[in-house]
Structure 1
Amino acid sequence: MGVTIDIAGLPERRISFSPSPLAELCMALHALSQPAHHPALASWTAATTAALDPSLADRLLEADFMWRSSFSDIFMAFAGIPDGTGLPAATLAAELDVVDRLDDERFVMAALEHCWMALYDEGMPSPLTDPRARAKALETAAARGPRQLDFSLRLLDDPSGVRVWMRRLLEECDEAFFAETWRRIEPGQSADARHKTEVLRHKGLPAALKEVSSALSVDEARTTITADKMVNGSTTATDARIGTGLVFVPTNFGWPHLLVLHAPGWRPVVHYPLGTPELASGPGSVELLQRRMEALAHPMRMRLCRSLARAPYTTSELAALYGITAPEVSRHLSVLKKAGLMHTRRQGRYAQHQLDLGAVARIGSDFIEGILR
């Protein structure tokens, strides 16, 4: 499970690290709409929400499905312009100019991305020209509420008018709270981008990916980058039709989300969080998390864990305690050990087993990070 990026033959100079004010505005709006996802930002979200003009807050609700439950590719428009630079602009105004360069079909498909997430990799007909796609988009928007339905109708009937409305909305967000926030965080993001560029140039891609996120890896041949996420997808950084290149964009508002733009016909982008509050051992992979949850789901292993959490036991002691055979106990212990949930140590000629309470405790936070990543 995960998203793969084909980089076979991609020159290293086409891999870039760069901040994006528009992408960060998207994440800031997401944090405001989903504060429970970002407890570390509680002070900022509470203060910003309290200071928002009621009219602006009301209008943000009309388009909030572009940043609340999914992240519209509109906010990374630089990746969707054929033959463009493929890089974010330095200012929000310049990035909004790039959004204006998106053709209506790309703009509308990206704005309504939440309507067909399951078909993201396959693409689908444009709702501007295909009646069934239009009906699907409106049906999905209606399920989210009358405001979203009204916005979607306006978008499909008058894309140009909605473009003007949306640009002004984002400019008002900049005036209300984002400009000051961006002035504060941009220097750190630029410094991080420079640092990771240096790591890439001097230590290579594996080292750079390790610094970006433990959820990213590259194969030995350096042809495929894999993002460990609870979603399947694939894209390429070498499509000459849109332009070659791969961009890594830092975010202060994004944790725990590690986003990978892998839309058909768009350059890939990895949006990675800064200052991830990881535990000393680092977050577990999705595969490891699945193994751990499956290991603990078995009734007998749950009962064994009750004892193993309190004190070390030998296989024979557990067999006698629970009335099962020693080989059965060994099989259950083997599953727990492969999942990294149990320690074994020798005490004379006996092997004593005990539950790793720290690993078990991390399942909750690892699960939350895994499903939000």
Structure 2
Amino acid sequence: MVVTLDLAKARPADLVAGASPLAELMAGLHVLAEPEHHPESRAWLGRVRERMPDGLATDLAYHAPLWARFRCRLFYPFAGPLDRDLDGELDALSRLDEDTFVRYAAIAIRGTTFPVDGLLADPSGFLRACERRSYSRAELARALVTDPAAVRAGLVETLARCATSYFDAEWRMVGPRLRDVSARLRDATRGATVAATLASMSPTATTTDVPPRVHYDKLQSATGAVAAHGCLLVPTLRGWPHLIVKLDPDEPVVVHFLAGDWEQHRQVSQSLVRERIAALAEPARLDLCRHLLGEPITTSELAERTALGEPQVSRHIRRLREVGLVTSRREGRMVYHRLHARLLLDLGVDLLATVMR
């Protein structure tokens, strides 16, 4: 499964890169709402919670369906120029027409895309769907259909309190870094193809020339066209390993990508994760891993220890080597095999990152 961007007729000018404090604030709110998914942010979470005034945590929990799982489109720019300040973005959110606000708020609260036209006239199906998800979603959904203006005012006021309590100070540190990433990306775009620029958003992205497309490795399937309304590239330093791609009709594509060090947050493709799990599902291979862990060992020694024939051991070793879990080196006439213990240790993290990405 992949998210695909169709690049037919797309030009470098269709790509607009820039920082968004509102998107970065939302990324942090997602971490606050789903802390168990982000152990790397534990220290940051502690600092934020210490600075959070009374009542703000309750208000954030009330609005959390807007960012906990399905990131609401309202928190991303709808057009350039980017690199605005948070006050400007909150003002734009306050002035957004009500139909657009209700549309994207409802989609986020329900947690999936659905036909929103006529929602306020007949909200019964929407409310039932939200009630099946959770009480908190149902509560916010009822408020939205009853008084969308009040929901918007409460949301903007809550976001402004986040800015005052902790985010303004955080943005003074991370904002220059994100603006620098955006500036370097704009420079790179002028000398690169659209496909190369979009593929640089993720270490697991792939491209095709015919038809011209970029594919993002995610556990969902969706397709959007860049040339239709352009594409906004928004970097973030918060929320590894998420790569968010917004493909809303009549709006620019948004790619919210990790601007941090990929070497510190390694990602592998979902196909490789599946292959490694499948390789280890064979009991004989799992037993071989026990012997391969302690020291380099030959095929003949493995055969003697496991009561398998040497051809069988060779086949199992070859499969483990194909998925990177075993390394082999020759010394004279002997070939020694050893388990790549670090990759085995990382497999759980890789699986979680694949599910979350």
Both proteins in one fold, TM over 0.5: yes
Residue of structure 1 aligned with 2:92, choices 98, 110, 127: 98
Residue of structure 1 aligned with 2:182, choices 181, 190, 193: 193
Deviates more, 1:96-105 or 1:352-361: 96-105
> Alignment partner of 1:256: what SS?
coil
> Alignment partner of 1:238: what SS?
helix
Cα distance in 2, alignment partners of residues 130 and 89 from structure 1: 39
Residue of structure 1 aligned with 2:115, choices 124, 134, 138: 124
Residue number in structure 1 paired with 2:158: 169
Q: Which amino acid aligns with 1:343?
A: T
Residue number in structure 2 paired with 1:133: 125
Residue pair 1:196, 1:211 contacting (<8 A) in 2 also:
no
Which structure 2 residues correspond to residues 208-357 of structure 1 after superposition, within 5 A?
Answer: 208-209=197-198, 211-220=200-209, 223-239=212-228, 244-276=229-261, 278-279=263-264, 282-357=266-341
> Alignment partner of 1:309: what SS?
helix
Cα distance in 1, alignment partners of residues 303 and 214 from structure 2: 45
Residue pair 2:218, 2:354 contacting (<8 A) in 1 also:
yes
Task: Check 1:305–1:172 CA distance in 2 against 1; reply closer, same or farther (3 A cut).
Answer: same
Cα distance in 1, alignment partners of residues 99 and 318 from structure 2: 54
CA deviations 1:158-186 (Å, max 9, x no partner) are 21221222122212222222222222221
Q: Which amino acid aligns with 1:348?
A: G
Cα distance in 2, alignment partners of residues 264 and 329 from structure 1: 54
TM-score (norm 2): 0.89
Q: Identity of aligned pairs, percent?
A: 31
Task: Check 1:47–1:350 CA distance in 2 against 1; reply closer, same or farther (3 A cut).
Answer: closer
1:372 aligns with 2:356: yes
Residue pair 1:228, 1:286 contacting (<8 A) in 2 also:
yes
- Equivalent pairs counted in the alignment come to 356
Q: Which amino acid aligns with 2:235?
A: P
Residue pair 1:17, 1:249 contacting (<8 A) in 2 also:
yes
TM superposition shift of 1:195: 0.6
Q: Which amino acid aligns with 1:9?
A: K
Cα distance in 2, alignment partners of residues 115 and 140 from structure 1: 12
Task: Check 1:89–1:344 CA distance in 2 against 1; reply closer, same or farther (3 A cut).
Answer: closer
TM superposition shift of 1:136: 3.5
Structure 1 stretches lacking a partner, 5+ long:
80-84
Residue pair 1:137, 1:152 contacting (<8 A) in 2 also:
no
TM-score (norm 1): 0.86
TM superposition shift of 1:43: 3.1
Cα distance in 2, alignment partners of residues 67 and 323 from structure 1: 54
Residue number in structure 1 paired with 2:102: 108
Cα distance in 2, alignment partners of residues 103 and 287 from structure 1: 42
CA deviations 1:254-309 (Å, max 9, x no partner) are 322111112344321111122235359x4221111111111112211100111111
TM superposition shift of 1:18: 0.6
Cα distance in 1, alignment partners of residues 156 and 150 from structure 2: 10
Deviates more, 1:164-173 or 1:186-195: 164-173
CA deviations 1:224-246 (Å, max 9, x no partner) are 1111122222222122xxxx211
Q: Which amino acid aligns with 2:149?
A: S
Residue number in structure 2 paired with 1:82: none
Q: Which amino acid aligns with 2:246?
A: L
Residue pair 2:144, 2:151 contacting (<8 A) in 1 also:
yes
Structure 2 stretches lacking a partner, 5+ long:
none
Residue pair 1:2, 1:227 contacting (<8 A) in 2 also:
yes
Q: Which amino acid aligns with 1:139?
A: E
> Alignment partner of 1:212: what SS?
coil
Residue pair 1:115, 1:136 contacting (<8 A) in 2 also:
no
Residue pair 2:199, 2:214 contacting (<8 A) in 1 also:
no
Task: Check 1:222–1:98 CA distance in 2 against 1; reply closer, same or farther (3 A cut).
Answer: farther
